[in-house]
Amino acid sequence: MSTMRLALHRIRLPLAAFTLEVDTEITAGITGLFGPSGAGKTSLLDLVAGLRRAPSALIRLGDRVLTDTAQGLSVPARERRIGYVPQDLALFPHLSVRGNLLYGAHGKEETNGNGGRFAFDHIRDLLDLGPLLERGIAHLSGGEKQRVAFARALLSSPRLLLLDEPLAGLDRPRRERILAYLRQAHDDLQVPMLYVSHHADEMTALCGEVLHLDHGKVTGQGEPGA
């Protein structure tokens, strides 16, 4: 089972309604960010991904410092090796499924083109995407789009995967199927994940640890349901 060593220290980010303030460390293989809409979950993901900057932050993934405002350090998002599946999935509607996946794989579809466990054919088979490769995005179901977005992020060979409410809008049976894919991918690829949701059942089904956020503050941290 993979583990994640993600340090989030001295984080202070003023937002419209409150200030996001976090000072903690995360170690579980899959950690949930749980809380009501507007609690600051997506803003925290954006800071980890390098998509926005805070006046104060120290973010370290493993032994690599990604952000240290005290030292004026901020590794560019493209160099962080962090995969991100946003709420809107950000799939390219003008490309086929194959085209979207190749974007994540930097154009490489050879068996070992993207390196070992993150090879194109391995991710394709892991998420059962073979039959969908030539389809357009508009012809996919909600669950299929989720799998394509998830696969595209994995094909970037990430050291950490960020998932921002990836099951929003899906009914319960489809949510459960996608959760099974996520668990399988985590176990197979050993990629730590930071998973955002406001559904407690998703936290229980997937996460080893949950960070509770409300109005930008950490109100609890521990096992799901604790």
DSSP string for 125-194: HHTT-GGGTTSBGGGS-HHHHHHHHHHHHHTT--SEEEEESTTTT--HHHHHHHHHHHHHHHHHH---EE
Last residue of a domain, one of 156, 187, 211: 156
Those residues of the chain that have pLDDT short of 50 are 111-114
Whether residue 64 sits in one domain with residue 19: yes
Whether residue 73 sits in one domain with residue 4: yes
According to the model, what pLDDT value does residue 117 have?
Answer: 78
Dig out the tokens for 189 from the structure: 């690829």
CATH number, domain containing residue 187: 3.40.50.300
According to the model, what pLDDT value does residue 113 have?
Answer: 44
Contacts (Cβ under 8 Å, ≥6 apart) of 131: none
Whether residue 173 sits in one domain with residue 197: yes
Q: How many domains does the chain have?
A: 2
According to the model, what pLDDT value does residue 221 have?
Answer: 96
Q: What is the DSSP letter of 43?
A: H
**Residue whose tokens read 């954006």:** 46
4 in helix, strand or coil?
coil
According to the model, what pLDDT value does residue 166 have?
Answer: 86
Last residue of a domain, one of 156, 179, 197: 156
According to the model, what pLDDT value does residue 112 have?
Answer: 41
Q: Calculate what percentage of the chain has a pLDDT beyond 70.
A: 93
Last residue of a domain, one of 112, 141, 156: 156
**Rg (alpha carbons) of the chain, rounded to whole number:** 17
The domain containing residue 2 runs over which residues? Answer: 1-81+159-226
Whether residue 67 sits in one domain with residue 26: yes
Residues in the chain: 226
Whether residue 188 sits in one domain with residue 135: no
